[in-house]
Amino acid sequence: MPPEADPPENMLRLYNTLSRSEEPFEPSRGNTVRMYACGPTVYARAHIGNFRTFVCVDVLRRTLKHLCGYEMHEAINYTDVDDKTIAGAQNAGVSLRDYTDELIRLFRQDAEQLGIEAPEETPRATDEANLRAMGDMILALERNGHTYRRDGSTYFKIATLPQYGRLARLDPEGIRAGARVDNDEYSKDDARDFVLWKASKPDEPSWDVGAGPGRPGWHLECSAMALRLLGGPPIDIHAGGVDLIFPHHENEIAQSEGATKEPFARFWMHIEHLLVENEKMSKSLDNFYTLPAVLARGYRASALRYLLLSSHYRKQLNFTWAGMEQAEESLRRIGDFLARLETVSAGGTYPAAVEAIEKARSSFAGALTGDLNTAAGLAAIFDLVRDINAAIDAKAIGRVDADAARRAIDDFDCVLGVVTLRRAEDAQPPVPVEEIERLIEERRAARGRRDFAAADGIRNSLAERGILLEDNAGGTRWKRK
């Protein structure tokens, strides 16, 4: 027998929507976490509310990897066929594939800018292997007595599954026996039989996977892809926004458990809504923002990522432009701290500095493994910044301590992913690095000949172009505005 994997250094406690409680988490098979998160429905460019979910899922992924020591097998899908994508392609006058290809490209571009790690699997609903898996699931549901057909479409009969509604805590008496719905999305608490496979309509894409010509219902897609790609039930974690609990995730459970007769997912993680200036984001209120819209205001993707993870994922987060300013300032503070660490040159090591670093490491790990408390994790970082800055002021820190503090920040950022993202942004400033360095040298020469007007002109010109110059005892350094 192969040796057992070493237990994780830190045990994660994760809130499980299914049990409505925090539970200790370990993968069910070896050291690999099998996780599925509902990805975007690619009918429009993803907005910052969507990305709150994906950033929080990314923090979960990074916590499992870097704090808990697990391997990851994660799938995030693209829903590229449903009511909305079909309507979008028809309105644009292009094929469904061409329409969704472009939106998938834009999503990947935005996700990369936000520092979201690419999952191991990024399936599309219309991939041939996934469509075959959907057909197999329908056949299994038919064999187990959970389906019926009407007008060429196949429906799931929820009355055949007594546990239906467990995730969403639905009232069994509120379920509309015998009523059915064809739309991919429908109103909350309106529980009724839902479509698995929709009969083909004129001018709509169509496939035949054994249930007649047509296309899959939205709920079927995720069930089939999760089980196919992640090695069968039960998967370890299923994640998504709170708006997906019902009907989407409830219906995923019904399909998967109705087909396999086994539990579908052990843990359900749901991320709360993002508000904008205390209101629901909508185009009618003119508060509907995408990443490019935020960048056009002069902010950076790293600041948006920071803001999106700054509050606990199970609490609503209020996006404001003042909040973006605070996120920028917080990242500048961390950057300035890291730069100040490089000025420490004294030898030796100091117990107070060592204690502050160890305390920060313990506090950070406890916060993130305690149901991903990112707010407390950030507090641990700024406690470290305060304590080590005080040590530098008191000349009570050595080079060894400074290096240890820098490593701690780097380790924290393996989970949060904001400092690394900012460094990458700084490496591609709005002014070429060679030009910045040349202008710094010209400014130094101007100051040397006491031409302060020319020196100030260079500083002001760079500031207008997004580059700030800072003078200190070691010379002049630059940073993005």
Annotated domain spans of the chain:
12-271, 279-426, 433-480
321-341 vs 399-416: helix crossing angle, rounded to 10: 150
Residue whose tokens read 């209120």: 285
Q: pLDDT digits over 9-53, tens only?
A: 689 999 999 999 999 999 999 999 999 999 999 999 999 999 999
* Cα-based distances in Å from 204 to 76, 131, 405: 25, 16, 58
pTM value is 0.89
Other beta carbons within 10 Å of 202: 5
Q: pLDDT digits over 408-433, tens only?
A: 999 999 999 999 999 999 888 778 88
Superfamily of domain covering 279-426 = Isoleucyl-tRNA Synthetase; Domain 1 (1.10.730.10)
Q: What is the DSSP string of 199-245?
A: EP-TTS--B-SSS-SEEE-HHHHHHHHHHHHTTSSPEEEEEEEGGGI
Q: pLDDT digits over 363-392, tens only?
A: 999 999 999 999 999 999 999 999 999 999
pLDDT at position 187: 62
In sequence order, the 6+-apart residues with CB closer than 8 A to the CB of 331 are 302, 303, 306, 418, 419, 422
Residue 258 has phi, psi (to 5 degrees) of -65, -35
Q: pLDDT digits over 72-87, tens only?
A: 999 999 999 999 999 9
State which H helix or E strand residue 479 sits in.
strand 475-480
Burial 465-480 (b: 16+ CB within 10 A, else e): eebebeeeeeeeebbb
The span from the CA of 396 to the CA of 363, in Å, is 22
Q: pLDDT digits over 99-127, tens only?
A: 999 999 999 999 999 999 999 999 999 99
3-state helix, strand, coil in the chain (%, to 5): 50, 15, 35
Q: Is 31 exposed, middle or buried (CB count within 10 Å of its CB: 0-12, 13-18, 19+)?
A: middle
| More confident of the two residues 208 and 280 | 208
Kindly report the CATH class assigned to 12-271: alpha beta
Q: pLDDT digits over 227-236, tens only?
A: 999 999 999 9
Average pLDDT for the chain: 93
Question: Residue 2: which pLDDT band, with cuts at 50, 70 and 90?
Answer: very low
Other beta carbons within 10 Å of 437: 12
pLDDT at position 6: 53
pLDDT at position 188: 61
Predicted confidence (pLDDT) at residue 1 exceeds the cutoff of 50: no
Cα dihedral 312, 318, 324, 326 sign? negative
Pairing verdict, β 12-16 and 193-199: unpaired
